[in-house]
Amino acid sequence: MAQVKIILDLPKETLDFMRKSKNEMPSEIRKLLAMELVKEGKVPFGKGAEIAGLYHSDFLDYLAQHKVSIFQYTEDELSKELSSKSEFL
């Protein structure tokens, strides 16, 4: 994956709010961005893990800690899925 360098200026107290050191911030920002992209359905889970720089299992744990599901269903899709499953029960 090709890389792009982004310089981001943040208020100093951001480190305190996030309870992260300056050195931890790039990694944390990558994970937060990847999580948001997956949550919004803009990238699939595997690509999110790659963006976050994590193994799939570690990214799954990260998403779980933030209560983000990798299953992104609309209400209609979920209804259809659940009704089709109930036919087999």
Nearest-angstrom CA–CA distance, 1 and 18: 28
pLDDT, residue 88, reads 56
pLDDT higher for 37 or 88?
37
**Which contacts of 54-62 are long-range, i.e. CB under 8 A and separated by 24 or more positions?**
59/31, 59/34, 62/31, 62/35
Query: What pTM value is reported for the model?
Result: 0.76
Is residue 69 within 8 Å of residue 60, measured between CB atoms?
Answer: no
Q: What tens digit of pLDDT does each residue of 26-75 get? A: 999 999 999 999 999 899 999 999 999 999 999 999 999 999 888 776 67
Reply yes or no on whether the pLDDT at 77 is more than 70. Answer: no
Q: DSSP label at 43?
A: S
